[in-house]
Amino acid sequence: MALDEKQNEAIEAAANELARRKGVLDENLKLPHELKVAEDERYILISSLVGLLAEYGILPRVTNVAALSDSIKHRGHGASGYESEILAMQILVVISTTEAI
């Protein structure tokens, strides 16, 4: 009787470990898809920001978050006035939130 109980405990522990590992594997299988979605969203955002910056004469040489941020901070290639200040602040807020992605 004690042997059966120990075997059942061992089987239950093994089943629990398999279930845990299956959960980890399932999560790992989702990660590439989630990464692709995030990369696509980032691409759309960066493309939109580059287009918006181009309207104000700000043309970054490189299209990554740091380059966009630097272009806005050090603008002066045609952007001026209150409207461009607001634009710069809005874009910097968007960029700073996407850096966490």
pLDDT band at 86 (very low <50, low <70, confident <90, very high): low
Tokens describing residue 64:
């990554």
The letter for the amino acid at 99 is E
How far, in Å, CA of 41 to CA of 65, rounded?
A: 13
The pLDDT value given to residue 34 = 93
> Based on the structure, what is the number of domains in the chain?
1
Query: Structure pTM?
Result: 0.53
Alpha carbon 60 to its chain centroid, in Å, reads 21
Are 95 and 65 contacting, i.e. CB atoms less than 8 angstroms apart? Answer: yes
pLDDT digits (tens, 9 = 90+) for 30-69: 999 999 998 898 888 888 877 877 777 777 776 676 666 6
* Look-up of token digits 């590992």: 21
Domain of residue 91 covers 2-98
